[in-house]
Amino acid sequence: MTHASVFRGNHKCTTMRTPLASRCYSHAKVETDEEFDARWVTYFSKPDIDAWELKKGMNTLIGYDLVPEAKILDSALRACRRLNDLASAIRILEAVKDKSGPHKDIYPYLIQELQPTLIELGISTPEDLGMDKL
Amino acid sequence: MSLAKPAMRGLLGKRLRFHLPIAFALSLVAAAAFKYGVTEPRKQAYADFYKQYDATKEFNNMRDAGVFESVRPTGE
């Protein structure tokens, strides 16, 4: 199935889903899901993160074939708080819903997991604001 | 009621691994269907037509119908 290997993260051995960025010809050590998550949590946890880094980080993260874990999103939302960027915080929630695509069970789960953070930081969900309806 | 953690990684990869082979297969089927349903019968129809085609007879028929400018119908 050679066409599958064109896409990042797809390996010829498809019994186990491989993490991101592994190609058949690469000898690089494959990063585990936990390492990937930790890396991103650290990225957004930078105390003096700037607006550009936040946007760049989010755009890069959204480009991956995954829906970010709750802990990464929590870190990103806290970065928005440090930057006084409520708009980006809500946008992150919209992006997560969009990334889920047809899998409608992901977004409610993540909102459930992020509920303490949303309450603590005073972030409304797009649904609260009626932004999910056109 | 607490929601269970769904699968969140590799969703597109999974979808593509499922749908792309089907897409390729269906494309090949479509191409084969067109080839054997349209182009081959068409080629055969032409072949059959020209198998028994008498060019001289057809020329004379056309000539007598008066459609040529370079030759007059026989007898004029």
Q: How buried is residue A32: exposed, middle or buried, by Cβ count under 10 Å (0-12/13-18/19+)? A: exposed
Residue B46 inside a domain? The answer is yes
* Phi-psi domain of B3 (left: phi exceeds 0; alpha: psi -120 through 50; beta: other): beta
Nearest CA in chain A to B16: A4
Instruction: Take residue B44 and report the two structure tokens written for it.
Output: 């055969």
As for the ipTM of the complex, it is 0.76
Condensed to tens digits (0 to 9), the pLDDT of residues A79-124 reads 999 999 999 999 999 999 999 999 999 999 999 999 999 999 999 9
Sign of the torsion formed by the C-alpha atoms of A116, A122, A125 and A128? positive
Under an 8 A CB cutoff, do A112 and B2 touch?
Answer: yes
Q: Which amino acid is at B8?
A: M
Q: Is B11 on the interface with A (CB under 8 A)?
A: yes
- Indicate whether A12 pLDDT > 50: no
Condensed to tens digits (0 to 9), the pLDDT of residues B15-69 reads 999 999 999 999 999 999 999 999 999 999 999 999 999 999 999 999 999 999 9
Number of domains in chain B: 1
Q: Is B28 on the interface with A (CB under 8 A)?
A: no
Residues of B in contact with A3 (CB under 8 A): 20, 24
Q: Which of B10, B17, B24 sits opposite A66 (nearest CB)?
A: B10
Rounded to two decimals, what is the model's pTM?
0.77
* Confidence at residue A134, expressed as pLDDT on a 0 to 100 scale: 77
Residue B24 inside a domain? The answer is no
Residue B39 inside a domain? The answer is yes
Range of the domain at B49: 35-76
- Indicate whether A50 pLDDT > 70: yes
Residue B65 inside a domain? The answer is yes
